[in-house]
Structure 1
Amino acid sequence: MMIKRILAPLAVVAATGLAGQALAAGEGGHVTDVDFSFEGPFGTYDSMQLQRGFQVFHQVCASCHGLKYLAFRSLGDSTGPAFPDDQVKAIAALYEVADTGPEALPGDTRPGLPSDKFPANTAAGAPDLSLMAKARAGFHGPYGLGINQFLKGTGGAEYIYSLLTGYTGEEHEAAGSILYGNEVFPGGKISMAQPLWGDDVEYTVHGGGDHEGEEGYHGADYTPPEATIEQEAKDVAAFLMWVAEPKLTERKEAGLRNLIWLVILSVLLYFTNKKVWASVKGDH
């Protein structure tokens, strides 16, 4: 009886996991696997992709969504978008933030500074996107095996990509509201109209710098890829993954260092143990 009591909850969890996997693989919620550069234990962010993703967010998504947990100065992180300081200041100045100065009146605003965070956007009642890539973990996440999450991440970026490219073009009226057909969103209908169309942004061209080996790098110039729906969705999904996990690269590097030290310590302890007990084992 005791064994049954212990195994019963495990059976329920296993069944739930299998059902979740079946749902994720079904027609109503299929998530496309995308090969992102930051996946895997040694993956890192592609700074040029993050810059393109920010451009998509700024020109398309920011009209309804905010990034209230992200500071403007983080856009200059070397393991992130790596915008130059002057561009970070220029980007911050494009946004109006609450003025909390000693002479400010309630409701006063001022141009943003690098030390400020992105202002919240509640005008359309749309969710904030700061943690969306973590909140929408799927495909590799919570129904997958732990090893999949370790090797490929939680899958939140794949979910965002699939959602943005999953519109069917159908419209449904319900309770006076228009819902839009989407193959990924639960129920197959979503209140958000299709945001990306492939001609929403014109990717800008940046200098080469330290981007040798990255996608689109050609000698002294960086030529961004064509702004298709799929490309825009992939870029903004990668950007939102960085927004949710800005220190992902640093955590991976720290984990690798700790693993190396653990191996060295284990070897030292092994030989120390042999040395300490050599005389005792020799008597037998």
Structure 2
Amino acid sequence: MVRLIASIVGAAFVLVLGIALFGSISGAITDPVAPSAESVAHKHPKELELASNGVFGKFDRRQLQRGFQVYKEVCSACHSLRLVSFRDLTKIGYTDPEVKAIANQWVIEQPSINPETGEPATRKNIPSDRFPLPFANEVAARAANNNALPPDLSLITKAREDGTAYVHSLLTGYTTQPAALLKEFPDIKTPEGLHYNPYFANLNIAMPPPLTADGQVTYADGTKPTIEQMSTDVSAFLTWTAEPNLEARHAAGFASIIFILIFCGLAWGAYQNVWRDVKH
């Protein structure tokens, strides 16, 4: 009797689930969800070819230095790089004296304490210091950026889907809101203080276009500083900050594959040698 009741209850439960599933499917077919402005206008990041792409990719040091220059002259006013030290710049081709000069001349100084008075003070940066924060705290950062908090860029290419391509597309994607989109979705007009960018998740971003004109940065190596070039270079630099050991990882992976192939060859040879006189 107990088994019969359990079977009836189980069958009823399955029936209810089936009815609910059928209702959900039929509802989705007969009354589909209307597309949103984000789903219609949001764009997938454009492909970006860099020397570091691929299994055998290596960083282009000259490009990384150009990217650092763009970060220094354009991005550092709002965005921090708190996981990177000045001395790490030696890994992208700067000499120790150059790194020391960059740290010493950095606009923002390190917070410190006056040993004589005990009052808060600042001091010049040294190579072992990490890049200083552009704002004292989150409140100050929001107050200076229309209540938006500029993200730290140390790991930005790891923290975003299609990281490097996303950064490049975002920097070059600012445009006016399409009239056709406004006609279809009149309620999504870009609010005052925001900027339309189809590569941003909700289409409207608080950050104004950081790269506004060709020649905004004067490259030391003579490369023509177009908006496309500057955005590519700073994207490459931020790829390095997120994964500075990329080249070592690629080399280790390649060496591991070679070792496995040699080991498999030796194992096969040993197998053939041990069992060569055994009749099947």
Quickly name the TM-score band, shorter chain normalised: 0.7 to 0.9
User: 2:197: which partner in 1?
Assistant: 182
Which residue type is aligned with residue 68 of structure 1?
R
User: 1:110: which partner in 2?
Assistant: 123
State whether structure 2 residue 171 is matched by structure 1 residue 164. yes
1:85 to 96, 113, 119: 96
Distance 1:109 1:185 in 2: 37
1:134 to 151, 158, 170: 158
Q: CA deviation at 1:28?
A: 1.2
Distance 1:103 1:257 in 2: 56
Summarize deviations over 1:86-111 as a string: whole Å, max 9, x none. Answer: 11111111231233797794633211
Larger deviation, residues 239-248 vs 123-132: 123-132
TM-score, length-normalised on structure 1? 0.71
User: 1:200: which partner in 2?
Assistant: 216
Q: CA deviation at 1:85?
A: 1.4
Query: Could you say if the C-alpha distance between residues 187 and 46 of structure 1 is closer, same or farther in structure 2, counting changes exceeding 3 Å?
Result: same
Partner-residue secondary structure (3-state), 2:175: strand
Structure 1 vs Structure 2 CA RMSD: 2.5
2:42 to 20, 24, 28: 28
Distance 2:200 2:101 in 1: 36
CA contact (8 A) 2:86 2:126 kept: yes
Distance 1:203 1:26 in 2: 38
2:261 to 260, 263, 274: 263
Partner-residue secondary structure (3-state), 2:120: coil
State whether structure 2 residue 69 is matched by structure 1 residue 71. no
User: 2:14: which partner in 1?
Assistant: none
1:275 to 273, 276, 280: 273
Highest Rg: 1 or 2?
Answer: 2
Unaligned stretches of 5+ residues in structure 1: 1-22, 139-155, 206-222
2:111 to 92, 98, 101: 98
User: 2:62: which partner in 1?
Assistant: 48
TM-score, length-normalised on structure 2? 0.72
Task: Name the % identity.
Answer: 40
Which residue type is aligned with residue 250 of structure 2?
K
CA contact (8 A) 1:172 1:179 kept: no
Query: Could you say if the C-alpha distance between residues 195 and 267 of structure 1 is closer, same or farther in structure 2, counting changes exceeding 3 Å?
Result: same
Distance 1:239 1:106 in 2: 37
Query: Could you say if the C-alpha distance between residues 267 and 93 of structure 1 is closer, same or farther in structure 2, counting changes exceeding 3 Å?
Result: same
Summarize deviations over 1:202-228 as a string: whole Å, max 9, x none. Answer: 1113xxxxxxxxxxxxxxxxx42x111
Distance 2:38 2:246 in 1: 26
Q: CA deviation at 1:69?
A: 0.2
Larger deviation, residues 63-72 vs 93-102: 93-102
Distance 2:231 2:225 in 1: 9
CA contact (8 A) 1:24 1:31 kept: no
CA contact (8 A) 2:114 2:121 kept: no
Q: CA deviation at 1:231?
A: 0.7
Higher-strand-fraction structure: 1
Corresponding residue pairs, total: 220
CA contact (8 A) 1:24 1:30 kept: no
Unaligned stretches of 5+ residues in structure 2: 1-36, 142-148, 178-187
Higher-helix-fraction structure: 2
Query: Could you say if the C-alpha distance between residues 269 and 24 of structure 1 is closer, same or farther in structure 2, counting changes exceeding 3 Å?
Result: farther
Query: Could you say if the C-alpha distance between residues 239 and 105 of structure 1 is closer, same or farther in structure 2, counting changes exceeding 3 Å?
Result: farther
Distance 1:266 1:100 in 2: 61
